[in-house]
Amino acid sequence: MTIADESYWMDSTPATAYPALAGDLDVDALVVGGGIAGLSTAWELTEAGRTVALVEADMIAAGVTGYTTAKLSVLHTLIYDKVRTSFGPDAARHYAESQHQAVERVAAVASRLGIDCDLERVPAFTYVESPSELDAIRAEADAAAGAGLPASFVTDTDLPFPVAGAVRVENQAQFHPRRYLLALAEDLTSRGGQIFERTRATGLDDGDPCRVRTELGHTITARQVVIATHYPVFDRALLFARLEPRRELVVAGAIPAELAPDSVSITPDQNTRSVRTAPYGDGRRLLIVTGEHFTPGADDVAGRWERLIAWTRERFPGTSIAYRWATQDNTTTDRVPFIGRFHPGTENVYVATGFGGWGMSTGVLTGQLLAGSLTGEEPPWAHLYDPRRLNLAREAGSMLKLQAKVAGHFLGDRVRPSHADTTADIEPGNGAVVRVRGQHCAAYRDPDGGLHAVSARCTHLGCLVHFNAAETAWECPCHGSRFGIDGAVIQGPANRPLERRDLPAEPSPATSPVGDKHATRAPETGGAS
């Protein structure tokens, strides 16, 4: 059976067709970014009576949100013990309250609007298989219960393999995110909200009012602006120093309903394994497994796919893999998302980022928090997520480690030899960074042998991109920007494409030096250097 390189959520819903912005605009609030955080915020502000516009560089609910696993849970692996230790027990309680309110908000809105989004209430588990990891599980169960959640330590789950122990939290959920969000968008526009697709924001004047410029030269004037672009495309607060990008792989396949677990589960072991299911018809469920997290630009992505598929077939025999896709998120250096005023010098610009892989509940929470902040009814737990917080005692180690990694790429990738010596080393279907006339070029050879070359410098902060052969994309290992082979931006923080480069004519095979040690060397396809 052929495995589709597509998300099930995208494959099972129609494409959207909202217009591009065609002229200047004036609104109360502008939301930049059309994922779950942006759509939830725009919808909540419309509910509050504000005139709202949302702009999305591509199509709504089709970026990170379209490639999620769509667990709707307050149980975020091992977060509560970390928050309790770093911020105190009150902070852990506020984290639990805010995430719980988000889960219930989805259920309430789906019921009120009559949205058929396959919402199912199930228990959530964080488990480990090794007894040596039980101390962390017991601590998490204690912290989650202390935060007010219906959490307990258990040794049994409904997974088809034994576990050493798990945290169990009752009455969590799973749903179809695109069906929910497309219905939310329809309701938003029916009540006067405006959505503009294919409208990339490229400039921000942070004033009173604010002005946002778009790629085509139009200006949107707004009293307040929300940057909900996953990774901030405008970074006046230098949040890139406190955000670490992480990419994960997903596989999904049909399984008999009687063999499907009736829960959502995750383990930090084995480089993460996350499991849920969805209705799939004809007595089957769609098993969705996530894992193999890595930094964008890492090597051997194809091998990671193989490991994830092998684990899925071993643990759930008979699964017929039908889909595979990848997702990406950012984690803050203190593990709590940044949601609130962008930086100390602004009163009118807000940001939402750093969801740490839990974008469904946190995206909905973003709408509740920011709508409350913008209308003067800030929730009591808003301060926990304030992006202006900085505790060096808590974050210094993580920040130094993150910046050392970035510096290693920014400097090291420039002084080490090129990822390939010449374009002749690049086989069809692969890409590599080569030096051409003293400049680094990102060159890709298509299956027909044609070469496509762009600048290898990421347009965000100038790190050299690496090639992801499994997904045919150029990726920045520093901050996670992703580009197509033509240089077009797939994923920010970059908001400008890689510039095209002209390559000199390649020598014919007959003129290659005999005995050249590079003549038959296989190219590096994963981008690691």
> Is residue 407 scored above 70 in pLDDT?
no
The tokens for 476 are 């920045």
Q: Are 18 and 57 in contact (CB under 8 A)?
A: no
Provide the 3-class DSSP secondary structure of residue 123.
strand
pLDDT at residue 393, rounded to an integer: 64
- Give the angle 471-467-231 at the CA atoms, nearest 5°: 75
What are the tens digits of pLDDT across the range 79-117?
Answer: 999 999 999 999 999 999 999 999 999 999 999 999 999
Calculate the alpha carbon distances from 401 to 211, 247, 330, 404, 408 in Å: 36, 18, 15, 5, 11
pLDDT at residue 78, rounded to an integer: 96
Provide the 3-class DSSP secondary structure of residue 490.
strand
> Is residue 18 scored above 60 in pLDDT?
yes
Q: Are 464 and 384 in contact (CB under 8 A)?
A: no
> Is residue 519 scored above 90 in pLDDT?
no
pLDDT exceeding 70 applies to what percent of the chain? 89
Residue among 280, 220, 198 at smallest CA distance from 16: 198
What are the tens digits of pLDDT across the range 184-223?
Answer: 999 999 999 999 999 999 999 998 999 999 999 999 999 9
Phi-psi region of 21 (alpha: psi -120 to 50; beta: other; left: phi over 0): beta
Question: pTM of whole model > 0.75?
Answer: yes
> Is residue 489 scored above 60 in pLDDT?
yes
- Give the angle 401-402-405 at the CA atoms, nearest 5°: 90
Q: Enumerate the β-bridge partners of residue 36.
A: none
Q: Are 191 and 97 in contact (CB under 8 A)?
A: no
What are the tens digits of pLDDT across the range 170-192?
Answer: 999 999 999 999 999 999 999 99
Q: Which domains does the chain have, with CATH numbers?
A: 10-67+178-241+335-393 (3.50.50.60), 75-85+116-175+243-327 (3.30.9.10), 395-529 (2.102.10.10)
What are the tens digits of pLDDT across the range 283-312?
Answer: 899 999 999 988 888 888 889 999 999 999
